[in-house]
Amino acid sequence: MKIIANFKMNKTPLETKDYLMNFLSRVKECPHEIVLCLPFTSLFVGKFLTEGTGVKIGAQNICDEDEGKCTGEINGAMLADAGAKYVIIGHSERRTKFKENSKMINKKIKCALKHGLNCLLCVGENLVERNTLKTAEVLKEQIEDALKGIYENELEHITIAYEPIWAIGTGQHPTAKEIDVSANVIRKVISNDFSVQAGEKINVVYGGSVEPKNISQVSKAKKINGFLIGGASLDYNNLLQILSTLK
Ligand code: PEP
């Protein structure tokens, strides 16, 4: 399974160092692929401390341009050089708060792939869309917009994170059955747009209020390949507990 942590805007480099010193010694022999998506300023310390451990580090954003006048942005080459193997793209907080549109998200994916980064493409419906039964429509549109011009052989570097907006940081989450329904929608979109094999092979993870207390429930979902964990991952004990439940 892929277990991905999203630290969001938390932890200074020193706090990241402290976290990693405690976490890494306890995840030796872990059968899962662990990716910690750190703030930009913690990437370098993350790279240094995770070297040779099997734990990977990722970033939470990437510039949609490779060069140019982009004050305050970080491009794919910089992320790769700082040690990132993954990058989160299209997180709902960036789509809403930072007004990232589908065209930008598509460009970001292309920039990430160009620099050898694996993409964690976040998609998901808001509460109104859920209540008006528009989830499938929203997922299809978000995926198709994001993957315009992407080749089938590039899909192995793309993981789709199903993250219903109403579940992020709220303590609420869909049932395992609902997660599977959405994961099937995602697989069907990929299978229609690429191939049946691609739909089966694409990595899909679930994110939204995953915590030690609900991991045994949500992990009953059979159509996903792992989890994206935000708030709960900030305490390494929580992440370790989640990992041990998934063993
Ligand atoms: C996230 O921010 O991607 C996320 C899943 O957050 P949380 O686990 O806190 O809901």
Domain map (residue ranges) of the chain: 2-246
Q: Which residues contact 70 (CB under 8 A, 6 or more apart)?
A: 63
pLDDT in tens, 132-143: 999 999 999 999
CATH number assigned to the domain with residue range 2-246, chosen from the 4 options 3.90.1150.10, 3.30.420.480, 3.30.70.2340, 3.20.20.70: 3.20.20.70
pLDDT at 83: 97
Pocket test for ligand 1, best of 168, 215, 233, 235 (most atoms within 8 A of CB): 168
Nearest-atom index, ligand 1, CA of 211: 8
Taking residue 18's Cβ as centre, other Cβ atoms within 10 Å add up to: 13
pTM over 0.85: yes
Q: How far is the CA of 175 from the centre of ligand 1 (A)?
A: 16
pLDDT at 84: 98
Phi/psi at 191 (5° precision):
-70, -35
Instruction: Say if ligand 1 is within 6 A of residue 163 CB.
Output: yes
pLDDT at 247: 79
Instruction: Say if ligand 1 is within 6 A of residue 228 CB.
Output: yes
Phi/psi at 33 (5° precision):
-85, 120
pLDDT at 4: 98
Instruction: Say if ligand 1 is within 6 A of residue 116 CB.
Output: no
Report the amino acid identity of residue 78.
M
pLDDT at 211: 98
- Residues lower than pLDDT 70 in the chain: none
